[in-house]
Structure formats: structure tokens, C-alpha cells
């Protein structure tokens, strides 16, 4: 198979000019040599941990529900560690510098060690599987949440994409998915919750020690990702757009990562946390790392990747509410259609308008649902503000006629709007120029 590499044409050389104008970033305090040295100093063994006491405490000191909730939680980590170990080699091939390749090789070894650690715990403490990685993964697969399944399938595809396209923008998208979303936004808060609970209860000593080592490894990996993304952005002006596209694609699925059966919050609260506390830690971690790399969310091109003016917990709460309503993520059954859900949909749309839309005058788009139980709504964009409200207006710039579920699936990226137009599931009424204005307001990232 042919490998698509970066062009060396003069035009591409110009595109790859630096993007930070020589500004000093938090990432500049990190060096690849130091990260490698930390790896050499931080060796630990997943096979030498003694789970005998953990197995006794698992049976005797945890309640039935605590065991159920803990296994559900740890299953997501086991699956993730195996997936990242499998998918890291294309990152090594795509890294421009030998120092980056060397560190990524150490990271792949780390991820394999983490998978062995979780495999041993699942088999020796929880009694699942026959001791092989494959049997352990098969045993915990039914525990996986829709968010975990979706994001790690995207990681599989990202690895395939990097095998045929080693460009800096493609590698930046891969690093954003792997080091920023998976490790910083998802794994980091989960590790914190697990470790804090275990240390507070003083239980599962070998697992506690292993989780402490896993967390130290992941901190090193995240630091590398911040450094690499900052360097890639300095080298290629296409990187910020690639980062924004990836975040738009995957962040809508993070609301379903912490999705236990029936959205039963006891799966988290039994460890002393709420959904939004854990999700808020993830949002805060993601924002901090993007800023450290010189790619603050509010500075990325295109529509906002996160809700402006929200606290991290408010970001997490909104994402969870959208997922629970069936607006974003994997839809399991029809989307809720009560007035509160419809209002949530349109209020969220107002938050995602591209502030750089370029419209010179107030513009209103009207959404006329063919469903008799769903009211008409309109969205007015005026300079830097966007307001959604129920009811029709006299002269909208554009009217859209569509079934409610189809429109929600367009918003949730489950239905391509172009396909909906071609097939007549989405019909445009009014001045065709209004469609161009709508595309400016909601551009495809």
C-alpha cells in the first residue's frame, strides 16, 4: 500500500510555517529526553503484584453492588488499555523525530503492561476469564458503555488513517484523540476517582499500588502528547483545524462514557462522586492540556468545541443531558420529545454557532417540524449573539421543514444533512441564499 507523506512543494512548505509566533508555551518546559529518562526511572512490574489479599477483600469487604460497580468501572479501563496498546505503532511511524519515536515505543510498552495488570485483576480477583488477555476481554465486553465502544472504534480507524497518511495534521488529530481525549479527559479523572476511593477505604492493596503506577505512567504520556501537539502546531498551520475537527467528532460521545446500566448514578456515587464531578474533571483536564499546547479551545478555528462561559461541571452536565435525551451519542431508541428536551436542543444549538460567521445583519432561521406534537422554533443570529425561541416569526431568512427525529439525527451526526436534502427528508423553503447563511452559521468542521 502506498504511504501518503507530506508534500515537499513550496506551497506546502509555506503552509508548514510556525503557528505560535515564537511564543513560549507551558509545553516548552517539557523535553523528550527528560520524558524518556523518567520512563527509565519509573519501571514497575505488573506480573509481580500479589493479588491474594485483594481477592479476599473483594469477596469479604465489598458489597455485592460495590463489586458490580467496580467491575463495570474497571472493565472500561481494561478495554481501553488493550486498545491503545494495539493502536500505537502507527503513531511511532508518523512521528517526525527519532526522540518522539523512542518515547512512543516506551509508551506502547507501558500500555501493554497496563493491560496485563487489568487482565490479572479481572481474572485473579474478579474470577473472569481463563488468564489469557482474549478471555478477559471477552468476559468484560458486555460491560462496555456506548461512549467507550464508539471512541475506541474511532481510535482503531485513526490507526488505519495514520498508516496511509503520516502528515502532521493527521498525526495531530491522532494525538488529540489518544493523548488528550482518551488519556487526559477520560482516563485521568477515572484513575483519580478509583485511587482516591481505594486509599480512603484502605482496601485492595495490590490494585491500589498498580493504579498508582498506571497514573504515573499516564501523566508522562499526557505530558508527551502536550509537547508533541505544540511542536506539530508550530510546524504546520493546518494543525489547529485538524484538532478542531477531531474534537467536534468525538466530544459528543464523551457524555456516554460514564453511562452505567439505566444511567444509575450509584455506579459512581458508591465511590463518593457524582457524574458531573467526574465529567467536570475530564473537561477541566482537557482544557488545561490544550492551553498548555497553545491550542486553547476558544482559539481553535470554526464553531466552538466546548460551551463558552460554562464551568467544567456545567460542560459535563450539558453533555450528559444531551446523551440521556438521545440527542448526541449512540441513540438507543427514539429521542425524547417533551418540550424540555426540544428546548435543550435549541438552546444548545445557540451555543454552537460559529462566532466568525460573517453575517452583516440579524438573520433568523425557522425550523418547522412535520410532527404535530413538536412546535416550530426559530434561531436568530445577531452579531456575536444567538438566541433560540419557540414559535414562528414573520419573515425568516430560511425555513427548514423536517421530521423531529431526522433533525435530531442531523445534529447528532447520525444523518448526513446533504443526504437528508437529496432524499427530501429535509426541505428548504424561502430564499436559497438563506442556505448559504446557515452554512456560515453552522459550518462543517
Q: What local confidence, expressed as pLDDT, does residue 219 receive?
A: 96
Protein fold of 339-441: Nonspecific Lipid-transfer Protein; Chain A (3.30.1050)
Q: What local confidence, expressed as pLDDT, does residue 22 receive?
A: 59
Sheet of 377-382, strands arranged across? 385-390, 377-382, 363-369, 398-402, 426-429
What is the sign of the dihedral through the CA atoms of 133, 138, 142 and 148?
positive
Q: What is the DSSP string of 166-220?
A: --HHHHHHHHIIIIIIIIIIIIHHHHHHHHHHHHHHT--HHHHHHHHHHHHHHHH
Q: What local confidence, expressed as pLDDT, does residue 355 receive?
A: 86
In three-state secondary structure terms, 380 is strand
| Nearest-angstrom CA–CA distance, 378 and 390 | 6
Q: Report whether pLDDT(443) > 50.
A: yes
Q: Report whether pLDDT(11) > 90.
A: no
Q: What local confidence, expressed as pLDDT, does residue 2 receive?
A: 30
Q: Which of the two residues, 8 and 320, has the higher pLDDT score?
A: 320
pLDDT digits (tens, 9 = 90+) for 159-214: 999 999 999 999 999 999 999 999 999 999 999 999 999 999 999 999 999 999 99
Q: What local confidence, expressed as pLDDT, does residue 7 receive?
A: 33
| Nearest-angstrom CA–CA distance, 74 and 60 | 19
Q: Report whether pLDDT(266) > 50.
A: yes
| Residue recorded with cell 510498552 | 109
385 pLDDT tier (thresholds 50, 70, 90): confident
- Tell me what the pLDDT averaged over the chain comes to: 93
Q: Which of the two residues, 10 and 167, has the higher pLDDT score?
A: 167
| Nearest-angstrom CA–CA distance, 89 and 83 | 12
> Which alpha helices (DSSP H) does 251-338 contain, by range?
266-269, 275-292, 312-325
Pairing of strands 398-402, 426-429: antiparallel
Q: Report whether pLDDT(90) > 60.
A: yes
Instruction: Write down the pTM of the prediction.
Output: 0.92
Q: Which of the two residues, 357 and 420, has the higher pLDDT score?
A: 420
Q: What local confidence, expressed as pLDDT, does residue 20 receive?
A: 53
Q: What local confidence, expressed as pLDDT, does residue 24 receive?
A: 85
Q: What local confidence, expressed as pLDDT, does residue 21 receive?
A: 54
- Average pLDDT on 272-288 reads 97
Q: Count CB-CB contacts under 10 A for residue 135.
A: 14
For residue 442, what is its C-alpha cell?
453552522
pLDDT digits (tens, 9 = 90+) for 300-312: 998 999 998 999 9
Q: Which residues 6+ apart lie within 8 Å of 231 measured at CB?
A: 27
- Average pLDDT on 319-329 reads 97
Per DSSP, what are the bridge partners of residue 364? 380
pLDDT digits (tens, 9 = 90+) for 16-65: 334 455 578 889 999 999 999 999 999 999 999 999 999 999 999 999 99
Q: What local confidence, expressed as pLDDT, does residue 235 receive?
A: 96
**CATH for 24-325?**
1.10.620.20
pLDDT digits (tens, 9 = 90+) for 122-132: 999 999 999 99
Q: Report whether pLDDT(8) > 80.
A: no
pLDDT digits (tens, 9 = 90+) for 219-262: 999 999 999 999 999 999 999 999 999 999 999 999 999 999 99
| Nearest-angstrom CA–CA distance, 122 and 88 | 24
Q: Report whether pLDDT(346) > 60.
A: yes
| Nearest-angstrom CA–CA distance, 385 and 379 | 10
Q: Report whether pLDDT(3) > 80.
A: no
13 pLDDT tier (thresholds 50, 70, 90): very low
Q: What local confidence, expressed as pLDDT, does residue 431 receive?
A: 84
For residue 91, the number of C-alpha atoms closer than 13 Å in the C-beta half-sphere is: 31
**Helix, strand, coil shares of the chain as percentages rounded to 5?**
60, 5, 30
CA-CA distances (angstroms) from residue 302 to 25, 32, 354, 374, 426?
23, 31, 6, 30, 24
Residue ranges of the domains in the chain? Answer: 24-325, 339-441
Q: Which residues 6+ apart lie within 8 Å of 192 measured at CB?
A: 215, 281
Amino acid at each position: 500500500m502506498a504511504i501518503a507523506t507530506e508534500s515537499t512543494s513550496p506551497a506546502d512548505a509555506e503552509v508548514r510555517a510556525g503557528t505560535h509566533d515564537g511564543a513560549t508555551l507551558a509545553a516548552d518546559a517539557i523535553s523528550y529526553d527528560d520524558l524518556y529518562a523518567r520512563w527509565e526511572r519509573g519501571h514497575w512490574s505488573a506480573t509481580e503484584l500479589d493479588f491474594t489479599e485483594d481477592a479476599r477483600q473483594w469477596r469479604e469487604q465489598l458489597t455485592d453492588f460495590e463489586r458490580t460497580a467496580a467491575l463495570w468501572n474497571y472493565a472500561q479501563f481494561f478495554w481501553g488499555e488493550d486498545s491503545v496498546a494495539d493502536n500505537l505503532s502507527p503513531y511511532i511511524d508518523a512521528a517526525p523525530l527519532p526522540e518522539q519515536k523512542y518515547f512512543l515505543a516506551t509508551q506502547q510498552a507501558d500500555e501493554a503492561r497496563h493491560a496485563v495488570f487489568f487482565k490479572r485483576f479481572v481474572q485473579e480477583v474478579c474470577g473472569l476469564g481463563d488468564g489469557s488477555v482474549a478471555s478477559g476481554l471477552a468476559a468484560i465486553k458486555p460491560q462496555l458503555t456506548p461512549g467507550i465502544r464508539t471512541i475506541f472504534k474511532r481510535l482503531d480507524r485513526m490507526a488505519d488513517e495514520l498508516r496511509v497518511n503520516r502528515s502532521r495534521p493527521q498525526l495531530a488529530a491522532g494525538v488529540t484523540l489518544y493523548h488528550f481525549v482518551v488519556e487526559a479527559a477520560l482516563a485521568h479523572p477515572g484513575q483519580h476517582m478509583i485511587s482516591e476511593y481505594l486509599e480512603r477505604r484502605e482496601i485492595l492493596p495490590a490494585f491500589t499500588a498498580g493504579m498508582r503506577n498506571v497514573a504515573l505512567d499516564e501523566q508522562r504520556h499526557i505530558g508527551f502528547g502536550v509537547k508533541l501537539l505544540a511542536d506539530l502546531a508550530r510546524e504546520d498551520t493546518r494543525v489547529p483545524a485538524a484538532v478542531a475537527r477531531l474534537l467536534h467528532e468525538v466530544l459528543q460521545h464523551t457524555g456516554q462514557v460514564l453511562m452505567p446500566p439505566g444511567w444509575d448514578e450509584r455506579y459512581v456515587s458508591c465511590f463518593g462522586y457524582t457524574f458531573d464531578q467526574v465529567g467536570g474533571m475530564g473537561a477541566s483536564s482537557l482544557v488545561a492540556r490544550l492551553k498548555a499546547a497553545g491550542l486553547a479551545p476558544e482559539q481553535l478555528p470554526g464553531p466552538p468545541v466546548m460551551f463558552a462561559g460554562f464551568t467544567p461541571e456545567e460542560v459535563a452536565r450539558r453533555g450528559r443531558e444531551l446523551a440521556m435525551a438521545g440527542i448526541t451519542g449512540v441513540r438507543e431508541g427514539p429521542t425524547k420529545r417533551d418540550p424540555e428536551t426540544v428546548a435543550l436542543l435549541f438552546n444548545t444549538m445557540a451555543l454552537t454557532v460559529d462566532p466568525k460567521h460573517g453575517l452583516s445583519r440579524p438573520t433568523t432561521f425557522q425550523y418547522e417540524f412535520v410532527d404535530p406534537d413538536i412546535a416550530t422554533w426559530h434561531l436568530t443570529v445577531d452579531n456575536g449573539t444567538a438566541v433560540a425561541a419557540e414559535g414562528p416569526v414573520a419573515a425568516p431568512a430560511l425555513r427548514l421543514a423536517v421530521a423531529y427525529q431526522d433533525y435530531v439525527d442531523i445534529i447528532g451526526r447520525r444523518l448526513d444533512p446533504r443526504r437528508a436534502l437529496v432524499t427530501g427528508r429535509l426541505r428548504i423553503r424561502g430564499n436559497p441564499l438563506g442556505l448559504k447563511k446557515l452554512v456560515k452559521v453552522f459550518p462543517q468542521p
